Amino acid sequence: MTDAVGTHTGTETALRQAEAGPAAGPPREVAFTPAFSCRGVGVGFGAKTVLEGVDLDIAPGTVTALVGPTGCGKTTFLRTLNRLNDRVPGFRRSGTISLVGEDLYDRHMDPLVVRRRVGMLFQRPNPFPLSIHENVIAGVKAHRLAPRSELRSITERSLREVGLWEAVADRLGSSPFRLSGGQQQLLCLARALAVRPDVLLLDEPTSSLDPVSTEAVEDLLRSLVPGLTIVIVTHNLAQARRLADRTVFFHGGRMVETGETAELFENPQQEETRNYVSGRFG
């Protein structure tokens, strides 16, 4: 293991506290350093402002859903959380975001380390054009997290974690593109988990999957908390209700409302939220 791991003991402490669970007190609220803490965050491209004035805390070990009509900036916001927008031409950001108490956009924060700590899964499965085994350990190798001799066992462990091991154990050396779409997405999940991230960002991870694969992915995600903090963008409100502890609603260039998922869906405080969750627009 390299120093990349040593730099975030803060998170691990927070996670351990979170894992201690209900017995140790209310695990979800701000008693802990939030995994993410956004203050007055604005994002945009060139002259176009996508979101403004977002104040949001995301507690460690929870699932947070980002919902809102198309084009409201969910993807842009999500990609800001692991600095994936850094190199997008015209991207600008204001306000502060901290990752477990450290300023995410600090000059001394290495974006590569940030991305190891904050993994991401995309809308469409995107395995690399490498063998299945090489796919799983791609991140581990890039960050030199383990010696060569351990790579096989990391592959097995990660594939078991996502329930893909039985299906691919006999063809680790072959192409990932002959797997089904759902299996490819699980493979990408295994790849993201193999580097032991603290947070996983998911951008509509099941929108290209059938209901059975979707359920498999959802079950899996549920089983990953509270060891992991999850932020998921979804258009599927039922999915948000099934998965998320908290839900955030973006609309019209700002964060309209956030709250406990059940609360937000049953008893929305804002007119716009009420209209959206009742399916009247979006």
Ligand X SMILES: Nc1ncnc2c1ncn2[C@@H]1O[C@H](COP(=O)(O)OP(=O)(O)OP(=O)(O)O)[C@@H](O)[C@H]1O
Rounded Cα–Cα distance for residues 172 and 155 (Å): 9
**Sites for ligand X among residues 25-54 (CB under 6 A):** 45, 48, 50
Nearer to another protein, 190 or 255 (CB): 190
Site string for Mg ion, 63-102 (x = CB under 5 A): ------------x---------------------------
Nearer to another protein, 127 or 268 (CB): 127
Find the shortest distance in angstroms from Cβ 57 to another protein: 23
**Sites for ligand X among residues 90-149 (CB under 6 A):** 90
Rounded Cα–Cα distance for residues 192 and 194 (Å): 6
Residue range at the interface with another protein (CB under 8 A); choices 16-24, 39-47, 67-75, 190-198: 190-198
Nearer to Mg ion, 17 or 185 (CB): 185
Interaction of residue 211 with ligand X, rule CB under 6 A: no
The site that binds Mg ion (CB under 5 A) totals a number of residues, namely 1
The site that binds another protein (CB under 8 A) totals a number of residues, namely 37
Find the shortest distance in angstroms from Cβ 231 to Mg ion: 13
- Rule CB under 6 A: which residues touch ligand X? 45, 48, 50, 70-76, 88, 90
- Rule CB under 8 A: which residues touch another protein? 82, 84, 87, 89, 111-116, 119-120, 122, 124, 126-131, 134, 138-139, 141-143, 171, 173-178, 188, 191-192, 195
